[in-house]
Structure 1
Amino acid sequence: MITESIPENWRDLQACVAEILSQCGFNVDLERVIELGRGRAEIDVYAEETHRDRLNRIICECKYWKAAVPQQIVHAFRTVTSDVGANAGYIIALSGFQSGAHEAVQRTNLRLVTWQEFQDEFETTWLDTFFAPTITTELDALMTYTEPFAPAWFDKLTETEREAYVALAQEHVPLGVLAMRLSIYHQKLSPGDFPLLPIRGSKLETEIPNLPDSLLDAKGYAELSSDLLKLGTAAISKFRAYRDLALERS
């Protein structure tokens, strides 16, 4: 799943849906009012992207209801989806849909999904478009620092500093290896090869020993990324402190 987080209210659900679509490369508006031939409609989440010079338009209705969404709501949104000219329409409901709702959208471009199912729809795109590029950009330095090669400025450090640097690198090798495994560099070699979560108990845990518990137990890729970035950027700051010392002596 993209995230373990469950939206707290309807506005939060809208914001979470919009965030995922934005991170997937869409231009997103919340509560956009659109003029139609028979009046106007307010769209909870309106998203557009251009792919190979073709416009892809998605609209979403977010229902943070305790009760299942009735068929009448589905029919009304199906009409709006058609009038807007959307390529796809999503009704995201935390409590599911009443009997007959799914039959009403057969052979249409309307999708009835739960919050988890919505994530599933966009997970692959999200991983390729946001997750891997973010880790690569933010942690590229960590991958370099934890490689088994000394940096060019290494000989400018004192013997004590070099020993401390080597110990720091060894300590953070698991983070560097995991960052590389999740990066676009790995994706170029093995497209779509993202590990199943949680990592604990999987083959990856044995391949990368000594990972922190927060990374081993993360069930959502967003949580995994957040914790890895936090740990990784802190490590980068420590490495750069040694780099700055060395460069001052150059």
Structure 2
Amino acid sequence: MISRNVPDSWQALQTEVGRILHECGFDVEVEKKTQAVRGAVELDVYAEETVRGRKYAIVCECKYWKSRIPQNVVHGFRTVVQDIGANIGYIISMEGFQSGAISASDLTNLKLVTWQEFQDIFEESWYEGFFTNQIHERLSSLMTYAEPFAPTWFEQMSDEDKSTYFALRDKYEPFAWVMQSLGPYSRRFRANPIPQLPLRMRLDADPTLGTIPAHILDETGYRELLEASLAYGEAALSEFRVLRDRYTS
């Protein structure tokens, strides 16, 4: 799943839906006011991308209701989606839909989904377009310190700093390799589905992973894994750079 956290209000649901679509590469507006055929309307989330000169538009209606969504909501939203010429409309409900609502969406360009189902639809696109790129952009430098070859300034270091450097490399090398396995270049040559979480499920047999914090190995949401990994990895980079700056500044 993209995130294990559940929105706690309709505003949070709108924000999180828009955030996912933005991170998937869409231009997004939350609470967008626009003119439709039958008058002015406000859209909870409007997302648009242009692929090879063709516009693709998504409209989302976010329902943070404590009951299942009835069919009249579907009828009303279908009219809005048609009037503004969107390609597809999503109604996202925290509690599901009445049977009449599901029937009303048949043979239309509407998708009735829960919060989890919405995440499932965009998970692969989000992972490929956002998660892997964030790992690369912000943590790829860690590999230059964790790889077996010492940096050019290594020979200038004192014996004490060399010991510190090797200790840091031993500590962070397993983490750096795991992050590289989650980056865009590793994914480019694989046709398999995105790796499942938690990481411990497929990595626990490796005895070198004991230096990776448990909260990273046991995380079940990709957004939370990304946030925890970036915080840990950037702290690691800071430790290496303290040494580097003593001999390159």
**Cα distance change on mapping 1:164 and 1:146 into 2, 3 Å:** same
When normalised by structure 2's length, the TM-score is 0.96
Matches within 5 A, 1:1-250: 1-191=1-191, 193-200=193-200, 202-207=201-206, 209-210=209-210, 211-248=212-249
8 Å CA contact retained: 2:124, 2:194: no
8 Å CA contact retained: 1:143, 1:177: yes
Structure 1, unmatched stretches of 5+, are none
CA drift of 1:204 comes to: 2.3
CA drift of 1:192 comes to: 5.3
Task: State the identity %.
Answer: 46
CA drift of 1:193 comes to: 5.0
CA drift of 1:206 comes to: 2.2
When normalised by structure 1's length, the TM-score is 0.96
Q: Partner amino acid for 1:140?
A: S
What is the distance in 1 between the residues matched to 2:57 and 2:70?
A: 25
8 Å CA contact retained: 1:156, 1:247: no
Please give the secondary structure, in 1, of the residue aligned with 2:95.
coil
What is the distance in 2 between the residues matched to 1:52 and 1:164?
A: 51
What is the distance in 1 between the residues matched to 2:240 and 2:224?
A: 24
Q: Partner amino acid for 1:10?
A: W
Q: Partner amino acid for 2:146?
A: T
Q: Partner amino acid for 1:135?
A: I
8 Å CA contact retained: 1:133, 1:184: yes
Please give the secondary structure, in 1, of the residue aligned with 2:6.
coil
What is the distance in 2 between the residues matched to 1:95 and 1:158?
A: 62
What is the distance in 2 between the residues matched to 1:114 and 1:173?
A: 40
CA drift of 1:189 comes to: 2.4
What is the distance in 1 between the residues matched to 2:177 and 2:26?
A: 31
Please give the secondary structure, in 1, of the residue aligned with 2:186.
helix
1:148-168 deviation per Cα after TM superposition (whole angstroms, max 9, x unaligned): 110111111011111110110
What is the distance in 2 between the residues matched to 1:117 and 1:9?
A: 18
What is the distance in 2 between the residues matched to 1:187 and 1:142?
A: 19
8 Å CA contact retained: 1:195, 1:204: no
What is the distance in 2 between the residues matched to 1:78 and 1:72?
A: 10
What is the distance in 1 between the residues matched to 2:194 and 2:243?
A: 33
Q: Partner amino acid for 2:112?
A: L
8 Å CA contact retained: 2:95, 2:114: yes
What is the distance in 2 between the residues matched to 1:56 and 1:71?
A: 26
What is the distance in 1 between the residues matched to 2:16 and 2:160?
A: 49
Please give the secondary structure, in 2, of the residue aligned with 1:100.
helix
Q: Partner amino acid for 2:219?
A: A
Q: Partner amino acid for 2:41?
A: A
Q: Partner amino acid for 1:204?
A: L
1:65-105 deviation per Cα after TM superposition (whole angstroms, max 9, x unaligned): 00111010011101111111111100000011112211111
Number of residue-to-residue matches in the alignment? 247
8 Å CA contact retained: 1:91, 1:111: yes
What is the distance in 1 between the residues matched to 2:14 and 2:128?
A: 23
Q: Partner amino acid for 2:76?
A: A
